[in-house]
C-alpha cells in the first residue's frame, strides 16, 4: 500500500509503515533541520510547507498519515499561549489551522484511510469544542468512518506518553485498535554504557532545579524535575528537553544527575540504533521530543492494513464510534 507522510518530522510514521511493506510516495516537512535528518535516513528530502503545496502535486495514495502540530492543543502549549496573551487551538493564527490542510488533501485525493496523531488534550481542549469540529469535519464533511483511541506508549516503551490516534476509512469497514500486550522495558534498558560528562548537570543548574522544585512544593504545586527510577518509566519526552532536561533526569552515583543523550531519546521513542543522528544535540532533542512513538504506530498500522486487506463491512454505519482508552501500565 502507498502512503504519504505529512508533518513528517524525522519520519516516525514512515519507519512504522515501511517496516510493514508499505511504500512512502510523498512527504512534507517545513523544518529544515528535520528535513536534514529525514534525508540522512530515507534518502530523500521532504517537500516544504504543506500550505504551499497543491493537492494535484501530491501522488495518489492509499493511506494518509500525519502527526499534525499539537502545541496549540497541548497542556503546555495552551499554558504558554495564555501567558503570552495569544490565541490557541483553532484560533491560533498559524499552527491551529494546519488540520485543515489535512482536510483539504483528504477531500481532494480521497485516500482509502488515514492515521492522525495528536496530544491527549485535543479531546478536552476548549471544553471539547475543538475535537467536536475535528470529528464532524472528518465524519460529516468528508464522509470517513472514524475510530479514535488514547494510547499510552508505556505499553511498549519506557516513558508515559498518552496520545490520541484517529483512524478513518472511506468505506464502512470494521477496524479494531490493537490489543497491546505490555512488554517489560524500563529506563535502564535504553541507557548507553559510556556517556560523556557534558550530559551531567552543572552544580549551578542542578541547584537551580532543586530550588525551583522546593519553591513550587511549598506553594502546593507539582512542578519540579523528574529524577527517574531506572527500573521504571519516565515522564513524557518533550520538544523542550534541550533547555535543561529537567523532565527526565538520570541519577548517577557520586555526581549530579544527567540528561538523556540524543541516542537514548531515540530509543525512548522506539527508533532503531541504525537511525542516523547527524544534527546537533539541541536539534536532536527537539526532533525526538516532537516525534511519534514508533512501535505504537506500527501496531496501529498493522490493524489498518489488515482491515483494508480483509474489508469486513459493518452492518450499521458507525455514526458514533466512541473513543476508548487502553488500561495504563504503571
Length of the chain: 330
**Residue 15: φ, ψ to 5°:** -55, -45
User: What is the spatial distance between Cα 184 and Cα 144, in angstroms, rounded to a whole number?
Assistant: 36
Asked if 70 is an active-site residue, the reply is yes
Residue recorded with cell 501496531: 299
* Cβ–Cβ < 8 Å for 264, 190: yes
Name the catalytic one among 22, 24, 70, 265: 70
Q: Which residues are the active-site residues?
A: 70
Amino acid at each position: 500500500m502507498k502512503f504519504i507522510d505529512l508533518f513528517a518530522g524525522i519520519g516516525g510514521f514512515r519507519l512504522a509503515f515501511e517496516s510493514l511493506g508499505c511504500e512512502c510516495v510523498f512527504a512534507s516537512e517545513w523544518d529544515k533541520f528535520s528535513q536534514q535528518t529525514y534525508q540522512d535516513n530515507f534518502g530523500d528530502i521532504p517537500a516544504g510547507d504543506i500550505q504551499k503545496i497543491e493537492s494535484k502535486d501530491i501522488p495518489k495514495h492509499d493511506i494518509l498519515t500525519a502527526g499534525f502540530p499539537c502545541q496549540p492543543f497541548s497542556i503546555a502549549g495552551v499554558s504558554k499561549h495564555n501567558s503570552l496573551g495569544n490565541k490557541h487551538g483553532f484560533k491560533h493564527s498559524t499552527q491551529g489551522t494546519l488540520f485543515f490542510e489535512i482536510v483539504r488533501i483528504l477531500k481532494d485525493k480521497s485516500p482509502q484511510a488515514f492515521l492522525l496523531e495528536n496530544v491527549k488534550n485535543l479531546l478536552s481542549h476548549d471544553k471539547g469544542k475543538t475535537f467536536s469540529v475535528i470529528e464532524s469535519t472528518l465524519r460529516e464533511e468528508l464522509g470517513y468512518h472514524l475510530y479514535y483511541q488514547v494510547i499510552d506508549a508505556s505499553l511498549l516503551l519506557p516513558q508515559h506518553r498518552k496520545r490520541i490516534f484517529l483512524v478513518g476509512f472511506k468505506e464502512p469497514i470494521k477496524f479494531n485498535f490493537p490489543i497491546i500486550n505490555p512488554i517489560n522495558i524500563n529506563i535502564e534498558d535504553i541507557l548507553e554504557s559510556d556517556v560523556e560528562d557534558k550530559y551531567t548537570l552543572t552544580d549551578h543548574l542542578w541547584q537551580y532545579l532543586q530550588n525551583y522544585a522546593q519553591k513550587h512544593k511549598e506553594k502546593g504545586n507539582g512542578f519540579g524535575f523528574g529524577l527517574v527510577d531506572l527500573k521504571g518509566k519516565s515522564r513524557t519526552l518533550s520538544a523542550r528537553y534541550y533547555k535543561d532536561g529537567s523532565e527526565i533526569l538520570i541519577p548517577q552515583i557520586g555526581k549530579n544527575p544527567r540528561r538523556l543523550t540524543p541516542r537514548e531519546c531515540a530509543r525512548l521513542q522506539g527508533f532503531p540504533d541504525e537511525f542516523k543522528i547527524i544534527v546537533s544535540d539541541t536539534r536532536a532533542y527537539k526532533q525526538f521530543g516532537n516525534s511519534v512513538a514508533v512501535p505504537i504506530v506500527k501496531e496501529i498500522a498493522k490493524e489498518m492494513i489488515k482491515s483494508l486487506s480483509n474489508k469486513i463491512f459493518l452492518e450499521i454505519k458507525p455514526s458514533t464510534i466512541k473513543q476508548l482508552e487502553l488500561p495504563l501500565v504503571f
